[in-house]
Amino acid sequence: MSTWLWLIPGSPFVGALTIALLGGRLPAARLPWFACAAAGISALTVAAAWLGGAAQEPLRQTLYIWLAVDGWQPSVGFTLDRLALVMVTVVSGVGFLIHVYSVAFMDKEAEQRRYYFYMNLFLAGMLVLVLADNLLLLYFGWEMVGLCSFALIGFWYRDPVKAAAGRKAFTVTRIGDTALAIAIFLLFVQFGTLSFDVLFPLGEGDWEGATAVALLILVGALGKSAQLPLQVWLPDAMAGPSPVSALIHAATMVTAGVYLIARTHPLFELAPGVQWTVAAIGVLTIVYGASCALAQHDIKRVLAYSTVSQIGYMFLALGCGAYALALFHLATHACFKALLFLSAGTLIHSAGGEHHIGRLGELNAGSRTVQLCFLVGAASLAAVPFFTAGFYSKDAILTAAWVAPVGGLLWLFAALGALLTGVYIFRVYLTVFHRSAEPLLRPRGRLPTPIAVPLLLLAALSLSVGFLEFPEGSGGPHTWSTWLESELDLAKHPEHHTTRVLQALSALMAVAGIALAFPLVRRERAGKSLPWQSFLQTGWRFDALYARLFVQPYHRTASALARWVEQGLIEAGLNGLTRGFWVMAAGLRRGVEFGSVERGLTFLVVGLQRGHAMLSATQNGLLSRYAVSVTTGTLALLGFWLFWPWGG
């Protein structure tokens, strides 16, 4: 099986290359199915890996040495252990379903070649990221998914706002990426290797650099996973097509930060302060995202802020050492959030591109199937007790948070988030689907199969995945955490009584949240808005703040450098120098040329004239004087030859 490991990221990679180089030759109608096949082969290989024993023993494959300098040889090599197996299953599974969905969703688009190229490339990058056996290759995948995210957010690039959203996403995540890069350098300098097998476990000894490195890795994760304070790019990223939002900005890429921290968790255990920070940022983001989601009118922006908030739960779990639970929530979230995005996309599509929830409700464009799927997704997101996957994964995180340092406070924030989650998602559901007035659009007929099948499959998963891990203290199976135990330690939970109380409270929160949505929607229909509506709708005004703090000063610095240093100092200095030479030349011309040289020449000329006059005097035509001169001269010469000691 190991020899086929490369096929998991390789198949979509080859797909992307083929689309890029030969896509023009393929018939346009075949192109989507070709891309689906590339994604499908990848998913099939993952399935084969499950059957082939990857669930027990890690599979490894090294393709070739990437760089080799001075004994350090990072390779292009893959490791499929249990942690990676969870990730590749989610990525290739959801990825394949969304490729299939795209076939029907994007069929009216003109530039499908570009779309499927980046979709396939994204899958390849994401799979490289989770399969990489060293940090350098992980970074490769990390950047590749960032690129695809950029390109797909800006897929409709003719709209400058959408193109700018892509650029913003790339730039903000690059800040995190740079922190990650610095962490990689520090690890390399300290240990001389970047291979996970050698780096982790770090051994028993303390390493004082651990805090700095863990912090830098955290910043990298915050950027990719859109957590405070680097969350600003994700709501704007909704400019991309809905399947892209579902795949990249909900199910897979944005959870890369969670994967990264889970993969490097021994480092965080050496730095408890940083680990607690992970949890603290998590709970702050939960409340932040949920509160912003409350005030959005764009259905996709609600889901975007919801993603920000839900990833906060995963960070909370990571910060409490409950890595397996973080992954569990990652998996369930991938299902129900992809489901929500895909049903929202279908809805928007049939409403002719309308995003506003109020008007979507008036149009009443959703068919029964879409409504049902959205309801399942919303229920799972709100963690409706017992039936939904979201309940099992979120509930476990909440109890695990209780035992962390300052756990009570963490729990309180997380529970508040759980309450708000129910409110905001059911606000959307009720506004969009339960409109008493006469519908403007008749619900269409059957959904196209490529759309219906992924929706129904994801709905089924959103209801069933939770049964893998029953709540702590109950009699049900704990398949998930026991299976991952060999790689990720078990989460700690409070004692039996407390656990029970907490579980009951959080279940109550979900139900209370849903109940609160009803009066809220009624209020909104009456035309009243939330308090602090605009503050919440603009995401706590982070964009304006960052524009003032960073963007504008950066541009001002660049302009100032161009004006003062480049033009004012260097160019002006050079001009001054040239000018100095010119002045010197002019001065020389005046002083030396006109003064000394000219005067000297005048002297010379005058002297020559005088001399000429004197010489002319010799040529007076008197023969006797000529004869005297000739004789004197001859005598002198003779005397010279005869009597000069060295002469003759």
Partner 1 sequence: MPWLTVLIFLPLVGGAWIWVRANGQVEYARRGALFVTTVELVIVNFVWLVAEPGGDGYLYIERHAWIPAVGIQYLLAMDGLSLVLVLLTALLGPIAVLVSWNAIQHNWPAFAFLLLASQAGIMGVFLSFDLVLFYVFWELMLVPMYFLVGLWGHERRLYAAYKFFLFTVTGSLLMLVAILGIYFVHGEQTGNNTFDYFQLLNTDVSGTRGMWLMLGFFVAFAVKIPLFPVHSWLPDAHTEAPTAGSIILAGLLLKTGAYGLLRFCLPLFPEASAAFAPVGMALGVVGILYGALLALVQEDMKRLIAYSSVSHLGFVVFGIYAWNLHGLSGAVILMLAHGVTTGAMFALVGMLEERSKTRQLSEFGGLLSPMPRLGAFLLLFTLSSMGMPGLANFVGEFLVLAGVFQHAAGLGVAGALGIIFGVVYLLWMYQRAMLGALRRERRWVDLKRREMVSLGIFAAAVLWLGLYPAPFLDILQGPLGVIMESGPHLSTGEVSGGQ
Q: Which residues bind partner 1 (CB under 8 A)?
A: 20, 64-70, 72, 111, 114, 136, 139-140, 143-144, 147, 150-151, 154, 157-160, 163-164, 167, 170-171, 174-175, 177-178, 181-182, 185-186, 188-189, 554-555, 557-559, 561-562, 565-566, 569-571, 574
Q: Rounded to an integer, what distance in angstroms lies between the CA atom of residue 226 and that of residue 365?
A: 31
User: Smallest distance from the beta carbon of 191 to partner 1, in angstroms?
Assistant: 12
Rg (alpha carbons) of the chain, rounded to whole number: 39
Q: Which is nearer to partner 1, 467 or 554 (CB)?
A: 554
Q: Rounded to an integer, what distance in angstroms lies between the CA atom of residue 234 and that of residue 288?
A: 13
Q: Which is nearer to partner 1, 90 or 187 (CB)?
A: 187
* Strand, coil or helix: 7: helix
Q: Which is nearer to partner 1, 441 or 570 (CB)?
A: 570
β-partners of residue 65 are 75
The answer to whether the bond into 201 is cis (omega within 30° of 0) is yes
Q: Which residue type is seen at 179?
A: A
> What tokens does 104 get?
């029907």
User: Smallest distance from the beta carbon of 158 to partner 1, in angstroms?
Assistant: 5
User: Smallest distance from the beta carbon of 151 to partner 1, in angstroms?
Assistant: 8
User: Smallest distance from the beta carbon of 169 to partner 1, in angstroms?
Assistant: 10
Q: Which is nearer to partner 1, 114 or 359 (CB)?
A: 114
DSSP assignment of 73-117, as one string? --EEEEEE-HHHHHHHHHHHHHHHHHHHHHHHHTTT-S-HHHHHH
User: Smallest distance from the beta carbon of 61 to partner 1, in angstroms?
Assistant: 17
Q: Rounded to an integer, what distance in angstroms lies between the CA atom of residue 283 and that of residue 539?
A: 16
Q: Which is nearer to partner 1, 554 or 594 (CB)?
A: 554
Q: Which is nearer to partner 1, 181 or 247 (CB)?
A: 181
Q: Which is nearer to partner 1, 154 or 471 (CB)?
A: 154
Number of H helices, E strands in the chain: 28, 2
Distance of CA 455 to the CA centre of its chain: 27
User: Smallest distance from the beta carbon of 146 to partner 1, in angstroms?
Assistant: 9
Nearest to 473 by CA among 396, 415, 388: 396
Q: Which residue type is seen at 606?
A: V
User: Smallest distance from the beta carbon of 448 to partner 1, in angstroms?
Assistant: 28
> What tokens does 459 get?
């709905």
Q: Rounded to an integer, what distance in angstroms lies between the CA atom of residue 258 and that of residue 318?
A: 8
Q: Rounded to an integer, what distance in angstroms lies between the CA atom of residue 539 and that of residue 233?
A: 11
How many C-beta neighbours within 10 Å does residue 499 have? 21
Q: Which is nearer to partner 1, 171 or 618 (CB)?
A: 171
HEC per residue, 461-504: HHHHHHHHECCCCCCCCEHHHHHHCCCCCCCCCCCHHHHHHHHH
Contact 335, 94 (CB under 8 A): yes
User: Smallest distance from the beta carbon of 119 to partner 1, in angstroms?
Assistant: 16
User: Smallest distance from the beta carbon of 74 to partner 1, in angstroms?
Assistant: 10
Q: Which is nearer to partner 1, 72 or 641 (CB)?
A: 72
Nearest to 94 by CA among 127, 138, 141: 127
Q: Rounded to an integer, what distance in angstroms lies between the CA atom of residue 261 and that of residue 257?
A: 6
Q: Which is nearer to partner 1, 555 or 625 (CB)?
A: 555
User: Smallest distance from the beta carbon of 98 to partner 1, in angstroms?
Assistant: 24
User: Smallest distance from the beta carbon of 302 to partner 1, in angstroms?
Assistant: 27
How many C-beta neighbours within 10 Å does residue 109 have? 13
User: Smallest distance from the beta carbon of 163 to partner 1, in angstroms?
Assistant: 4
User: Smallest distance from the beta carbon of 157 to partner 1, in angstroms?
Assistant: 4
* Strand, coil or helix: 506: helix
Q: Rounded to an integer, what distance in angstroms lies between the CA atom of residue 420 and that of residue 294?
A: 8
Q: Which is nearer to partner 1, 149 or 343 (CB)?
A: 149
Q: Which is nearer to partner 1, 138 or 344 (CB)?
A: 138
- Residue 262 region by backbone torsions, left for phi larger than 0, else alpha for psi between -120 and 50, else beta: alpha
Q: Rounded to an integer, what distance in angstroms lies between the CA atom of residue 356 and that of residue 607?
A: 102
User: Smallest distance from the beta carbon of 137 to partner 1, in angstroms?
Assistant: 9
Q: How many CA atoms lie within 13 A of 110 on its CB side?
A: 4
Q: Which is nearer to partner 1, 208 or 438 (CB)?
A: 208
13-35 exposure pattern, b = at least 16 Cβ within 10 A, e = fewer: bebbbbbbeebeeeeeeebbbbb
Q: Which is nearer to partner 1, 197 or 571 (CB)?
A: 571
User: Smallest distance from the beta carbon of 204 to partner 1, in angstroms?
Assistant: 25
Nearest to 1 by CA among 40, 38, 56: 56
Nearest to 402 by CA among 415, 416, 387, 419: 415
HEC per residue, 554-568: HHHHHHHHHHHHHHH
User: Smallest distance from the beta carbon of 129 to partner 1, in angstroms?
Assistant: 11
Q: Which is nearer to partner 1, 185 or 467 (CB)?
A: 185
Contact 230, 175 (CB under 8 A): yes
Q: Which is nearer to partner 1, 559 or 609 (CB)?
A: 559
